[in-house]
Amino acid sequence: MKKVSVQCRNIRLSYGSTEVLKDVNLDIQPGEFFALLGPSGSGKSTLLRLIAGFNRASSGQLLVDGADISGQAPWQRNIGMVFQSYALWPHMTVWDNVAFGLVERKVDRATLKARVGAALELVGLQDYGARRPNQLSGGQQQRVALARTIVIEPKVLLLDEPLSNLDKTLRVQMRQELLALQRRLGITTLFVTHDQEEAMTTADRMAVLDQGVVQQVGAPAALYDEPVNTFVAQFVGTMNLLPGRVRERRGDGLTLAVEGVGDLALPLRADAPPGETLMLSFRPHSLRMGTPGAEQVSSCIALAGTVEAREFLGEVTRYRVRVGTHSLAVDHPHRAGGAAFPVGDVVSLALEPSQARLLPR
Amino acid sequence: MRPGVWLAGAAVLAFLLLFLVLPVGRVFITAFLDADGGFTLGHIGTFFDQGLMRESFFNSLYVAVMSALWAALIAVPLAYFTVRFDFRGALLIQTLGVLPLIMPPFVGAVALQLIFGRSGSINLLLGEHLGFTLPIMEGLNGVVFVAAIHYFPFILMNLTVALRNIDGAMEEAALNLGCKGWRLFWRVIFPLAAPGFVAGASLVFVKVFDDLGTPLVMGQTNLLAPQAYLRITQVGLEDPLGYVISVIMIVFSIAAMALSARALKGRDYATLQKGGASIQRRRLTPAAAVAAYAWIGLVLLLVLSPHVGVLLLSFAQVWSYSPLPDALTLAHYATVFQDSTGMIQNTLLYCGLAAGLDVVLGVTIAYLMLRTTLPARQWLDWIATASLAVPGIVLAIGYLRLYKGMVIPGTELLFTGTWVMIMLAYAVRRLPYALRSCVAALQQVHVSLEEAAESVGATQLRTIRRVVVPLMAGGILAGFVTSFITAAVELSATILLTSAESQAPMSYGIYLYMQSVAGRGPGAALGVLAIVVVAVGTYISHRVVERTGQRFAAQAPVGVTVGGKA
């Protein structure tokens, strides 16, 4: 089957006076597994429903395979959608649910039987055709919903928080299955989620949305390592942010005055003029924690603080360390028998400059 | 368990036994008892041997089925319009849904006779200008016509709720897979709402099958309920055929309800999840809007015609063989206020007491059922609800038979001759309504609210008084009003149990007036008053329910499911 691209061009959408999507531009490649990530109310589901045809843009274009489909009704689009609640019809058996779209397409009986059977087999439910949806577990319902959608061989597959109703273990298993299935079928897939782990583990690329605006688009690692603003930085993973005023700029770096901490000389480039506030950002695991007085690597940015709290997470222990007026998250790798820093301890923190970024406030 | 719980359970059970189970049981026994007190099926045989009885039986079936069918034809499009489309007519339809219910059907029958009857307004005009007439009000079809426009709201309301509860994603999934228009309606929407439809339609069937007032007023006596009435009043309380008819009516009521329960079982398609959206509303296309408004307009005309007819009749000096009354007068109202203030007072007294009794019983049963471990507590609910299947006339026959000759201690008064009998019949017949209201209200009160009261030192009884009842207040009041207004227009039990004119409530008064042509004016005036009482009551209960709903919605914290299932 031909893989198609999906493009959003300057899409705007308002409910009354509230603008839900503000000038959305996206280019989704043929066959790509693309995640839309954002908090609730960010507009990600609205965008998905717009692609399915349940919403209408106030302006802008929606191109699928290069053709504008904005004017098409949902039933004309052949874009499959899996709903968050699965939306399996309780008055039909699993088989009838899956066959539904083929009946609408007036597929002949033999083909219908073959294709429904194949779809059920694909999701491992070939023996469940006679059951009713409410006799299935959550994971099985999810698979039926998936089978019902892919059986029509849609041009694009839309998944609206498909894993949010499953428990954690099942969620991990299903997302792997989902990815494997997508790879096998090669359908261009859009996946809405508010769970950054879900997005990062499955998507080829993802877009982070907030308040109807696409904040950043890119591969998961790129968004994680190089967020363009504090929203993306904090939404994708955990990020420490230290606000500071630019005191002076030198050729290869600048001095940042961080309130309650003091001046930090940073070998980082920034275009901001002196006086402007920037955010120094770094991940919890890029800080190295040690006892004060221990040897420091001179190229590192050094901070001193007091342990406020700690959470043992297994692979690491996450400490909250008070540095001046700020509280930082620090992940310290855990090893059996390794010493822990007790609450109240004064510690030193070292940050490699390459792991830190300056973000606009 | 505390002794109070046992005591409350015993009191409720005693009431249900004395005034529901035993009287109805007595009717059953009498139907199967021969002269010597042995078991016999002979009376049943006699029933089916008589041509008149067979005819009445099939007539009743015909009328009930056809009424449900016509009611469905009126209600289904209206329900669909309200839920599906974003247009002003939705409010109109809501109004349509209540208007017929605020008028006793037998009152409507008289008015409809004047408008659609052989010499009614419509046929006079048709005959004069177009040279033909429509036999709308003739024979059994007349009863069907009256019943369909009176009872369609049961389908409308049940179906509307069912449609509203459909998760919008159910429909979107179908659209997404290429289904639209009529196919979408028949393959997805209607099947999902079908339980609501079946519930409404079976209710219509039962109501029509058991109705006594309408056929009597329309002179159609070859139906089961009128036959039972005539047997008991004319042949006498000993005639077994009256009891056989009663048994048949109960059996069919139960069968219809069992059918509806079966249809609903395991098919709770109320699929709307918390935070989910109902099916999406659409704008009507201009052509569709015209069609929708035309249909609504037509139904509105039909539905309003009894009201308009009664109103006109109540002001008409003479209205006979003319499309409209010849002259208007206030004389009928004067007559009513002169002669019938006693009836109005009686209605207020009986219905007030009955509704009061109902909510006390309703709260007690609801509490026992949902909050205690009293053995067999579910039975209280089942017995109380079973009274839905007991036609008023059957209950009345049971009372007359069971309490025959019983004298109130210390007096010479016959128990069956007092108004208490009428009041009790109202209370038993309307108990299911009040009970459902109370159960729903108590389900909305989260157990933790009571546990909180008990943890700070309130006893069970104090907790009920200070926490449970105040939180249930809206539901209790709604139950009271529903019981009150439906009892106010109850005729079938009233006709049999009213033993003196001084005891007569309004519904009986209207019926008496309507027997004579001269009495139609005052009868209509009294009818208008009854409608006003019922309308005001309905409005109040609607507002109360709405307001309580809002209060609870505001209270429920995010993530806490209100209701017993959490």
Identify the pLDDT of residue B547: 72
Buried b (16+ CB within 10 A) or exposed e, A126-144: eebbeebbeebeebbbbbb
Query: Could you tell me if A173 and A250 lie in one domain?
Result: no
CA distance B559 to B451: 19
Q: Do B272 and B379 reside in the same domain of the chain?
A: no
| pLDDT value of residue B565 | 29
Does the beta-carbon distance from A54 to B172 stay under 8 Å? yes
B300 and B184 share one domain: yes
Asked if residue A122 belongs to a domain, the reply is yes
User: Could you tell me the CATH number of the domain that includes residue A199?
Assistant: 3.40.50.300
B400 and B453 in a single domain? The answer is: yes
A248 Cα to chain B: minimum distance (Å): 49
A223-241: per-residue pLDDT in tens? 999 999 999 999 998 999 9
Distance CA A69, CA A199 (A): 27
**Residue B535 within a domain:** no
User: Which residues span the domain enclosing A246?
Assistant: 240-360
Partner residue facing B169 (CB), from A85, A104, A148: A85
Residues of chain A found within 8 Å of residue B174, distances taken between Cβ atoms: 89, 100
CATH number, domain with residue A278:
2.40.50.140
ipTM value of the model?
Answer: 0.75
Claim to verify: residue B9 and residue B115 sit in the same structural domain: no
Mean pLDDT of chain A: 90
- Which of A235, A252, A287 is a domain's end point? A235
How far is B169 from B172, CA to CA, in rounded Å? 5
In the listed set B506, B521, B541, which residue is the last one of a domain according to the structure? B506
pLDDT by residue for chain B (566 residues), tens only, comes to 678 889 999 999 999 999 999 999 988 888 888 777 778 787 888 888 888 888 999 999 999 999 999 999 988 988 888 887 776 767 777 777 777 877 777 888 888 888 887 777 777 778 778 877 777 778 888 999 999 988 898 888 888 888 888 888 888 889 888 888 888 888 988 888 888 888 889 889 998 998 888 898 888 888 999 998 888 888 777 888 888 888 999 998 888 888 888 777 655 555 555 455 677 777 777 888 888 888 888 888 888 888 888 888 888 877 776 777 777 788 888 888 888 788 888 888 999 999 999 999 999 999 998 888 888 888 899 899 888 888 888 999 999 888 887 887 777 777 777 888 999 999 999 999 889 888 888 887 777 777 777 777 777 788 888 888 888 888 888 888 888 888 888 888 888 888 888 888 888 888 888 887 778 888 888 888 888 877 787 777 777 767 765 655 444 433 333 333 22
Q: What is the pLDDT of residue A306?
A: 94
For A74, which of B175, B273, B276 is closest by C-beta distance? Answer: B175
- Spatial strand order in the sheet of A240-250: A262-266, A253-258, A240-250, A277-282, A357-360
Q: Which residue from A83, A105, A148 is facing B172, i.e. has the nearest CB?
A: A83
- What is the number of domains present in chain A? 2
Binding-face residues of B in 145-174 toward A, CB within 8 A: 167, 169-170, 172-174
**Residue B287 placed within a domain:** yes
Residues 6+ apart with CB under 8 A from B419: B346, B349, B350, B503
Judging contacts by C-beta atoms under 8 Å, the chain A residues touching residue B273 are 85
Q: Are residues A228 and A252 in the same domain?
A: no
Whether residues A99 and A132 fall in one domain? yes
pLDDT of residue A204: 95
Whether B467 maps to a domain, the answer reads yes
Hey, which residues 171-200 in chain B have their CB within 8 Å of chain A? Answer: 172-180, 183, 187-188, 191-192, 194
Please indicate whether, in this complex, the C-beta atoms of A152 and B178 are within 8 angstroms of each other.
yes
**Averaged pLDDT, A66-75:** 89
Same domain, yes or no: A228 and A342: no
Provide the CATH number for the domain around residue B386.
1.10.3720.10
Together in a domain, A253 and A191: no
Query: What's the pLDDT score for residue B548?
Result: 64
- Nearest one of B423, B420, B540 to B479, comparing CA atoms: B540
**For residues A84 and A161, is the Cβ–Cβ distance under 8 A?**
yes
Asked whether residue A217 falls in the same domain as residue A267, the answer is no
Residue B445 structural domain: 1-33+342-506
* Predicted pLDDT at B268: 56
- Judge residue A277's burial from the number of C-beta atoms within 10 Å of its C-beta, 0-12 exposed, 13-18 middle, 19 or more buried: middle
Across the A/B interface, how many CB contacts are shorter than 8 Å?
A: 75
CB atoms within 10 A of CB B532: 11
Strands (E), A98-237: 156-160, 188-193, 205-210, 213-218
Chain B contacts of A90, Cβ < 8 Å? 192, 267, 269, 271
Note the pLDDT of residue B68: 94
For residue B431, what are the contacts with CB-CB under 8 A and spacing of at least 6?
B358, B361, B362, B384, B387, B483
My answer on whether B210 and B284 are in the same domain is yes
Could you tell me if B192 and A89 are in contact, meaning their C-beta atoms sit under 8 angstroms apart? Answer: yes
Local structure of residue B415 (DSSP, 8 states):
G
Same domain for B322 and B346? no
- CA-to-CA dists, residue B104 to B69, B485, B538, B549, angstroms: 21, 10, 14, 29
Same domain, yes or no, for A78 and A192? yes
**Are residue B55 and residue B147 in the same domain, yes or no?**
yes
> Which of A100, A146, A153 best probes binding to B when mutated, by most B CB atoms within 10 angstroms?
A100
| Same structural domain, B325 and B353 | no
> Is B546 among the domain residues?
no
Q: Are residues A150 and A53 in the same domain?
A: yes
Residue A85 DSSP SS3: coil
Contact B179 A75 (CB under 8 A): yes
How far apart are the CA of B557 and the nearest CA of chain A, in angstroms? 18
Domain boundary among A202, A235, A268: A235
Report the C-alpha gap between B24 and A195 in whole angstroms: 62
Question: Within this chain, do residues B131 and B58 fall inside the same structural domain, yes or no?
Answer: yes
pLDDT given for residue A284 in this prediction? 94
> Are A130 and A151 part of one and the same domain?
yes
Distance from CA of B170 to the nearest CA of A (A): 5
Last residue of a domain, one of B491, B506, B521: B506
Asked which of A194, A213, A235 is the last residue of a domain, the reply is A235
Residue where a domain stops, chosen among B506, B530, B559 = B506
**Residues A341 and A244 grouped into a single domain:** yes
Tell me if B529 is assigned to some domain.
Answer: no
Q: What is d(CA B536, CA B530) in angstroms, rounded to the nearest whole number?
A: 10
Enumerate residues 6+ apart whose C-beta is below 8 A from B514: B106, B107, B110, B217, B520, B523
Average pLDDT on A103-119 reads 93
**Which residues of A lie inside 8 Å of B (Cβ-Cβ)?**
52-54, 73-76, 78-81, 83-92, 100-101, 104-105, 148-149, 152
Shortest CA distance from B195: residue in chain A: A91
Burial state string for B369-403 with b = 16 or more CB within 10 A and e = fewer than 16: bbbbebeebeebbebbbbbbbbbbbbbbbbbbbbb
Which of B171, B176, B272, B558 to mutate to test binding with chain A, by most A CBs within 10 Å of its CB?
B176
CA–CA separation, B411 and B420 (whole Å):
15
A275: left (phi over 0), alpha (psi -120 to 50) or beta: left
Shared domain for B263 and B407, answered yes or no, is: no
In a domain, B522, yes or no: no
Residues A252, A128, single domain; the answer is: no
Residue B61 shares a structural domain with residue B185? yes
Residue B214 CA: distances (Å) to CA of B139, B218, B287: 12, 6, 39
| Distance, C-alpha A290 to centroid of its chain | 33
A317 pLDDT band, cuts 50/70/90, is very high
- In the block, tokens 């694009």 appear at A156
> Which chain B positions have a beta carbon within 8 Å of A100's beta carbon?
174, 177, 179, 187
Residue B73 CB partners (closer than 8 Å, separation 6+)? none
**Residue B559: what pLDDT?**
34
In a domain, A1, yes or no: no
Residues B9 and B136 in one domain: no
Same domain, A88 and A229: yes
Distance from CA of B180 to the nearest CA of A (A): 7
Query: Who's near B249: CB < 8 A, 6+ residues apart?
Result: B209, B210, B224, B225, B228, B391, B393, B394
3-state SS class at A331: strand
The pLDDT of residue B557: 39
Q: Do A91 and B267 touch (CB under 8 A)?
A: yes
Whole-number Cα distances in Å, A276 to A107, A243, A263, B263, B324:
65, 10, 14, 70, 86
Minimal C-alpha gap between A292 and chain B (Å): 46
